[in-house]
């Protein structure tokens, strides 16, 4: 068959074979058949496949191409790569890239029916400097060797790198086992247990600690508040450090009228130190050891003590019988001395106890017989209007004129006990004259 004339419009064949718009183009019969294949959705021949397209302006050649593996490439300012072969298990992915090291984005699927996909984005760098990276395939691990700002790893961990901040309003545990916070080595640091209880724990043989306000700057408050009631909602117990610099005040503050207890459950001492030197030790048996001075300041502070006395009173006590059964109270006291947590009362010639305990009692007196006559007298300390005699506080003297008397002893006293001095004549019924007398007592221990 000879040539078959085919008249084509001016805007088709010039693009196919070249020439000018004013020329007519003639195709052979074979060319006519091949050209027909170009417009009927068939392949021209076994070699000539429609594998490349050029943009209308011809500036990008090719603008779209298909390689032997079926990968479609869009060339231009924004590129896309798509790979998908549904007949076999291959990676399927969509890739957009602007330049060799420019912005890129990759969306990919894995190799199997159950494989997972992912997204990665790069802004201004290679894969090693990803800003966002999400895990894609379990066999490959991360999308690349670099780690982005956000990485979802093969085991499901979400990683924020380069000290990034996670902003959220609520983080919750997925079940009743609680929420765990660990370091980069997996060592558990904080466990928020079911019910909201917080535990600080460590699986290593090292110290575990909590630091409050460590990363702040300047002088600032730092404190821990424990709140366990509906009244003191600010704090029930507070451990705090104030904001006045490196030599500021540290406090332990307690609210309410209940006890503030420092308790050692086992047989352990409680030790107080200053300048790292032990100053006071409360032993397990209750013994208090003090290495410094024990000083009391302010009225009513310190151990209990009291004193009453009389000077040069020349007071005569009337004796009506012989022996202790006829004792009389020494009523010669004229002055109340110093006191603390005890009440001196020279009017009633006794001291009243307001704090129970062990007391050391001191008595000194100058006593005379009447007219210089010789006879034997006795003096003793009693309590509660002469009801009980402390026999360790007792003396006897033969008078022939004047005689000094002194007594010292330790007695056990209760609250509201009254302490008095009594005397009697053991020889006859001669009276007894008191010139001077002092009685004082000092608490030395508890009962």
Q: What is the pLDDT of residues 20-37, one digit of tens each?
A: 554 445 566 666 655 555
7 or 65, greater pLDDT: 65
| In-domain check, residue 7 | no
pLDDT band at 384; cut points 50, 70, 90: very high
Average pLDDT over residues 60-82: 65
State the residue range of the domain holding 23: 13-49
For residue 103, the cross-strand partners are: none
For residues 309 and 439, is the Cβ–Cβ distance under 8 A? yes
Average pLDDT over residues 279-284: 94
**Candidate from 90-99, 169-178, 264-273, 318-327 with smallest mean pLDDT:** 90-99
Looking at 127, 144, 164, the residue that finishes a domain is: 164
**Candidate from 94-108, 139-153, 214-228, 342-356 with smallest mean pLDDT:** 139-153
Residues 321 and 413 in one domain: yes
For residues 4 and 28, is the Cβ–Cβ distance under 8 A? yes
On the question of pLDDT at 204 being above 70, the answer is no
Looking at 164, 179, 199, the residue that finishes a domain is: 164
Q: According to the per-residue pLDDT averaged within each range, which of 3-7, 45-49, 240-244, 370-374 is highest?
A: 240-244
Cα dihedral 145, 147, 151, 153 sign = positive
- pLDDT at position 107 is 56
Q: Return the beta strands (E) in 114-219 as ranges.
A: 118-122, 132-133, 150-152, 158-160, 179-182, 188-192, 198-200
For the chain, the maximum distance between any two Cα atoms, rounded to a whole number of angstroms, is: 182
pLDDT band at 355; cut points 50, 70, 90: very high
Residues 24 and 90 in one domain: no
- pLDDT at position 108 is 54
Number of C-alpha atoms within 13 angstroms, CB side, residue 5?
2
Residues 45 and 107 in one domain: no
Average pLDDT over residues 280-303: 86
CA–CA gap between residue 191 and residue 199 (Å, rounded) = 5
- Give the DSSP letter of residue 263: -
| In-domain check, residue 280 | yes
On the question of pLDDT at 65 being above 70, the answer is yes
134 or 329, greater pLDDT: 329
pLDDT band at 362; cut points 50, 70, 90: very high
- pLDDT at position 67 is 75
Residues 285 and 388 in one domain: no
Choose among 91, 58, 88: nearest CA to 75: 58
Q: CA gyration radius for the chain?
A: 53
Residues 276 and 323 in one domain: no
Looking at 273, 294, 315, the residue that finishes a domain is: 294
| In-domain check, residue 194 | no
| In-domain check, residue 335 | yes
Percent of the chain with pLDDT over 70: 64
CB-CB neighbours of 115 under 10 Å: 17
| In-domain check, residue 59 | no
- pLDDT at position 192 is 81
Residues 290 and 315 in one domain: no
Residues 279 and 156 in one domain: no
On the question of pLDDT at 297 being above 60, the answer is yes
On the question of pLDDT at 76 being above 80, the answer is no
**3-state secondary structure string across the chain:** CCCECCCCCCCCHHHHHCCCCCCCCCECHHHHHHHHHHHCCCCCCCCCCCCEECCCCCCCCCCEEECCCCCEEECCCCEEEEECCCCCCCCEEEEEECCCCCCEEEEEECCCCCCCCEEEEECCCCHHHCCEECCCECCCECCCCCCCCEEECCCCCEEECCCCCCCCCCCCCCCCCCEEEECCCCCEEEEECCCCCEEECCCCCCCCCCCCCCCCCCCCCEEEEECCCCCCCCCCEEEEECCCCCCCCEEEEECCCCCCCCCCCCCCCEEEEECCEEEEEECCCCCEEECCCCCCCCCCCCCCEEEEEECCCCEEECCCCCCHHHCEECCCCCEEEEEECEEEECCCCEEEECCCEEEEEEEEEEEEEHHHCEEEEEEEEEECCCCEEEEEEEEEEEEECEEEEEEEEEEEECCCCEEEEEEEECCCCCCEEEEEEEEEEEEEECC
For residues 344 and 351, is the Cβ–Cβ distance under 8 A? yes
| In-domain check, residue 201 | no
pLDDT band at 136; cut points 50, 70, 90: very low
On the question of pLDDT at 408 being above 50, the answer is yes
- pLDDT at position 64 is 73
119 or 261, greater pLDDT: 261
| In-domain check, residue 246 | no
Structural domain total, the chain:
4
CA–CA gap between residue 444 and residue 6 (Å, rounded) = 135
On the question of pLDDT at 150 being above 70, the answer is no
C-alpha distances out from residue 191 to 94, 126, 187, Å: 42, 39, 11
Choose among 88, 94, 101: nearest CA to 72: 94
On the question of pLDDT at 13 being above 70, the answer is no
Residues 346 and 431 in one domain: yes
Residues 370 and 325 in one domain: yes
- Give the DSSP letter of residue 133: E
Average pLDDT over residues 244-255: 94
Choose among 221, 248, 246, 247: nearest CA to 235: 221
**Candidate from 67-81, 123-137, 242-256, 413-427 with smallest mean pLDDT:** 123-137
191 or 304, greater pLDDT: 304
- pLDDT at position 185 is 75
Q: What is the mean pLDDT of the chain?
A: 77
Percent of the chain with pLDDT over 90: 44
On the question of pLDDT at 292 being above 70, the answer is yes
- pLDDT at position 311 is 97
- pLDDT at position 2 is 42
Average pLDDT over residues 336-355: 96
Residues 317 and 434 in one domain: yes
373 or 144, greater pLDDT: 373
On the question of pLDDT at 39 being above 60, the answer is no
| In-domain check, residue 38 | yes
Residues 26 and 111 in one domain: no
CA 252 centroid distance within chain: 13
- pLDDT at position 279 is 93
CA angle centred on 20, ends 18 and 24, rounded to 5°: 90
Write out pLDDT tens, residues 210-241: 777 777 788 999 889 999 999 999 999 999 99
CA–CA gap between residue 305 and residue 355 (Å, rounded) = 10
C-alpha distances out from residue 232 to 228, 254, 407, Å: 8, 10, 56
CA–CA gap between residue 105 and residue 99 (Å, rounded) = 12
CA–CA gap between residue 6 and residue 392 (Å, rounded) = 150
Residues 425 and 337 in one domain: yes
């Amino acid at each position: 068959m000879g040539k078959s004339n085919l008249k084509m419009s001016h805007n088709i064949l010039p693009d196919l074979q070249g020439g000018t718009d004013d020329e007519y183009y003639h195709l052979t019969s074979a060319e006519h058949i091949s050209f027909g294949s170009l417009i009927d959705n068939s392949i021209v021949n076994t070699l000539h496949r429609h594998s490349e397209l050029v943009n209308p302006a011809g500036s990008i050649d090719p603008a779209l191409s298909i390689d032997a593996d079926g990968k479609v490439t869009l060339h231009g300012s924004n590129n896309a790569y798509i790979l998908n072969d549904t007949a076999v298990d291959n990676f399927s992915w969509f890739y957009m890239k602007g330049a060799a090291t420019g912005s890129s984005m990759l969306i990919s699927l894995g190799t199997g029916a159950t494989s997972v996909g992912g997204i990665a984005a790069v802004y201004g760098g290679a894969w090693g400097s990803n800003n966002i990276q999400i895990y894609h395939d379990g066999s490959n691990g991360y999308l690349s060797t670099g780690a982005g700002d956000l990485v979802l790893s093969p085991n499901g961990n979400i990683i924020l790198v380069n000290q990034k901040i996670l902003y959220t309003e609520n983080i919750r545990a997925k079940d009743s086992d609680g929420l765990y916070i660990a370091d980069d080595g997996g060592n558990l640091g904080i466990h928020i247990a079911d019910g909201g209880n917080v535990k600080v724990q460590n699986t290593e043989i090292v110290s575990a600690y909590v630091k409050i306000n460590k990363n702040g700057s300047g002088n600032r408050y730092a404190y821990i508040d424990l709140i366990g009631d509906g009244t003191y909602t600010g704090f029930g117990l507070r451990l705090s450090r104030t904001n006045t610099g490196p030599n500021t005040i540290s406090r332990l503050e307690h609210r309410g009228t209940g006890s503030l207890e420092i308790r050692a459950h086992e047989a352990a001492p409680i030790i107080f130190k200053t300048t790292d030197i032990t100053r006071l030790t409360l032993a397990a048996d209750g013994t208090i050891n003090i290495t410094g001075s024990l000083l009391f300041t302010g009225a009513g502070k310190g151990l209990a003590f009291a004193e009453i006395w009389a000077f040069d009173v020349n007071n005569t006590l009337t004796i009506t019988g012989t022996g202790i059964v006829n004792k009389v109270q020494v009523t010669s006291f004229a002055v109340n001395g110093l006191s603390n947590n005890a009440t001196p009362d020279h009017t009633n010639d006794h001291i009243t106890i307001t704090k129970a305990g062990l007391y050391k009692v001191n008595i000194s007196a100058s006593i005379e017989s009447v007219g210089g006559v010789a006879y034997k007298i006795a003096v003793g300390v009693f309590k509660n209007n002469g009801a009980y005699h402390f026999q360790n506080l007792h003396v006897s003297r033969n008078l022939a004129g004047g005689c000094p008397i002194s007594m010292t002893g330790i007695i056990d006293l209760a609250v509201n006990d009254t302490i008095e001095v009594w005397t009697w004549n053991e020889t006859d019924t001669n009276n007894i004259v008191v010139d001077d007398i002092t009685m004082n007592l000092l608490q030395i221990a508890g009962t």
